[in-house]
A and B are shown apart, each in its own frame.
Chain A
Amino acid sequence: MIERRHILGGSLFAASAVVGPFLPPWLISLLTIAFASALVVLGLIVLWRAGLVSFGQALYYAIGAYTVALFMRWTGIHDAFLAVILAALAAALTAFLVGFLLARYREIFFAMLSLALSMILYGVLVKTEALGSTDGFNVSQPTFLGYAPHGMELSIALYWYALGLGAIAAVLVGAYLRSVAGSLAIPVRDNEIRVEYLGVSATKLIHLKLVIAGTLGGVGGAIGAMAISHVDPNMSYWTTSGGFVFITILAGAGSVAAAFVGAVVFEIVRTMSVALLPGAWQLILGTVLLLTILFLPDGIGSLFMRRRRKAQEAAQ
């Protein structure tokens, strides 16, 4: 059934696509990066609902980014669609494998273990000269099914590409959250014993969530790599994961759309903070986080939810 929020989401998507070519280059770049981050945050929301906070989502982001970069470098094939599919598969496979370990842990142990895994990758990348060590290496310009834009055209194409992937991911994650497995996030968070005694494995449910979140992280990293045209070990560093967690707090776990709004707000605040206080931009970012936790503990998404609830109550 098509609801008002679907129409609103579709309209926003269409409007964002239409205005793209008319936006200044800096804003196109900022939004493309924001959409890449939003994909990672969508994955974090999937985990967050089950009470799992991952401080290591940069692991999948970096794997997605490096997969795209290496694929283009080694094969000479620059197709963005193929590159993103490979990045998604690489991140999904990683999440599937580490999921056997991670799915057994909860709370702070889960958070720290996920952080540790991303830092292991960071260590490997820093020490691997073939991958550019601390400097990383450049990513070739992508093509889109034979279309090879340059300059501003490439920026707009990447913007549309990120927007399209973001929309597809939003629809799929929305459908997942309404599915039985997605709806069981709160039951898993609340009471795993009852979930098990209803006949389903809470560990398997969490493992699936890890793979979904990892895949989204990989796709986000792939877009990030193409947008920045460079990959380096910092993509797997804990501060990158921290940024994604920051956006998730800002967005809240209640709404898929909030991931995009949160990511855009974060990128704008960060960019403006750096412009205003180049030496102490973290101060502004920290203040925003503090204010969000104090006055909007359930994030920007709670504003949508509140409006939707009021509309439902009015309809009844």
Chain B
Amino acid sequence: MTPVISVRNLEKSFGSVVAARDINVEIPALQTVGIIGANGAGKTTFVNMITGHITPSSGSIWFSGKDVTGLPSRTICRMGISRSFQVAQIFPSLTVYENMCAAAAIARNNVSVLRFAVMPLLNPEAEAETEEAIDLFQLKKYRDAPAATLPQGVRKLLDIAMAVAGRPQVLLLDEPTSGISVEEKYDLMEIVMAALKSRKVTVLFVEHDMELVDRFAERVLAFYDGTVISDGAPAEVLGDPRVQELITGHALSKTGSAVHA
């Protein structure tokens, strides 16, 4: 089976600083992959290269058999790779409903800007889809609240819900639980993962909380110094002595539960 994402010999340098080196990864469809590593290990650089935010220095990125290396982020997004950000990227002046409407309107219609100028924002189909997404991500309580007033966890949820509006095949979540209280983290991840499963999305998520990685990932990529030092099932990677020495700093318990990096 063709992997949905295939990364070959990927490298990225910023001057003399090597942020990614010789990354080779294949992600099959519908897999949930956790990406771990200390700060500066190259996790976000990896996500940024796949989503077109930065261009790799060398190597290639393939999406469903198509070379997407160096394509603009919006083209990659249109092709089916979407993302959320460490800092939620929402429209603060709009309500949750309006945020979702705007996202649905853009994402559902792959047309030119000129066509967008004659296409009404609100129509029954778009409104129904928006309501469905609000239900799916459990945002109903905040439906008419201005996004600027939302708690951090809800902002993150909205950011992810917007990223999914275009029904992507692959979603990259960059630290979806950063800045969220410990109590909220699990709730948020439960909602997100259930929603993404129902939408049949391949997920790659960057995470520092090893318990969350262990709980939600089917596979883990461990980054260190710009490259993948361990790749496999969560228990296998989190139990890897190199990962424990260089990333987590702790051994995985026998029950499989892990601790923070």
State the A residues within 8 Å of B (CB).
175-176, 178-184, 186-187, 189-191, 193-201, 204-205, 207-208
Could you say which residues of chain A place their CB within 8 Å of the CB of B92?
A: 190-191
**Given A178-B121, A179-B121, A183-B121, is A199 in contact with B110 using a C-beta cutoff of 8 Å?**
yes
Distance in Å: Cβ of A271 to nearest Cβ of chain B: 36
The residue of chain B having its C-beta at the shortest distance from the C-beta of A198 within the complex is B106
A187 touches B94 (CB 8 A): yes
Q: How far is the CA of A304 from the CA of B102 in the complex (A)?
A: 24
The residue of chain A having its C-beta at the shortest distance from the C-beta of B166 within the complex is A199
A180 touches B120 (CB 8 A): yes
The residue of chain A having its C-beta at the shortest distance from the C-beta of B111 within the complex is A180
Cβ-based interface call for B73 (8 A) = yes
Chain A to chain B contacts (Cβ below 8 Å), 8 pairs? A181-B117, A190-B92, A193-B85, A194-B90, A195-B106, A197-B73, A197-B83, A207-B113
Q: How far is the CA of A197 from the CA of B75 in the complex (A)?
A: 9
Q: Which of B75, B105, B116, B165 has the most CB of A within 10 A?
A: B116
Could you say which residues of chain A place their CB within 8 Å of the CB of B117?
A: 176, 179-182, 208
Could you say which residues of chain B place their CB within 8 Å of the CB of A186?
A: 91, 93-94
The residue of chain A having its C-beta at the shortest distance from the C-beta of B126 within the complex is A180
B162 touches A194 (CB 8 A): yes
The residue of chain A having its C-beta at the shortest distance from the C-beta of B80 within the complex is A199
Distance in Å: Cβ of A130 to nearest Cβ of chain B: 37
Contact of A199 among B89, B106, B159 (CB under 8 A): B106
Could you say which residues of chain A place their CB within 8 Å of the CB of B118?
A: 175, 179
What's the A-B contact tally at a CB cutoff of 8 Å? 98
User: For this complex, into which size category does the number of interface residues on chain B fall?
Assistant: 35 or more
Cβ-based interface call for B45 (8 A) = no
B88-115 CB contact bits vs A (8 Å, 1 = yes)? 0111111000000111011101100110
Could you say which residues of chain B place their CB within 8 Å of the CB of A184?
A: 102, 105-106, 116
The residue of chain A having its C-beta at the shortest distance from the C-beta of B89 within the complex is A194
Contact of A191 among B83, B90, B105, B114 (CB under 8 A): B90
Cβ-based interface call for B20 (8 A) = no
A180 touches B119 (CB 8 A): yes
A183 touches B107 (CB 8 A): no
**Given A197-B74, A201-B74, is A180 in contact with B106 using a C-beta cutoff of 8 Å?**
yes
Could you say which residues of chain B place their CB within 8 Å of the CB of A194?
A: 89-91, 159, 162
Contact of A179 among B51, B73, B83, B120 (CB under 8 A): B120
Q: How far is the CA of A199 from the CA of B162 in the complex (A)?
A: 12
A187 touches B83 (CB 8 A): no
Cβ-based interface call for B82 (8 A) = yes
Distance in Å: Cβ of B245 to nearest Cβ of chain A: 36
Cβ-based interface call for B206 (8 A) = no
Contact of A200 among B93, B116, B121, B159 (CB under 8 A): B116
B77 touches A197 (CB 8 A): yes
Within 8 A of A (CB), among B126-159: 159
Contact of B82 among A179, A189, A197 (CB under 8 A): A197
A196 touches B74 (CB 8 A): yes
A183 touches B102 (CB 8 A): yes
Cβ-based interface call for B201 (8 A) = no
Q: How far is the CA of A180 from the CA of B114 in the complex (A)?
A: 10
Within 8 A of A (CB), among B179-236: none
Contact of B91 among A175, A182, A190, A199 (CB under 8 A): A190
Could you say which residues of chain B place their CB within 8 Å of the CB of A179?
A: 116-121
B107 touches A198 (CB 8 A): yes
Distance in Å: Cβ of A282 to nearest Cβ of chain B: 34
Cβ-based interface call for B252 (8 A) = no
Could you say which residues of chain A place their CB within 8 Å of the CB of B122?
A: 178
Cβ-based interface call for B163 (8 A) = yes
Distance in Å: Cβ of A100 to nearest Cβ of chain B: 14
A187 touches B91 (CB 8 A): yes
Distance in Å: Cβ of B102 to nearest Cβ of chain A: 5
A200 touches B120 (CB 8 A): no
**Given A187-B102, A199-B166, is A181 in contact with B94 using a C-beta cutoff of 8 Å?**
no
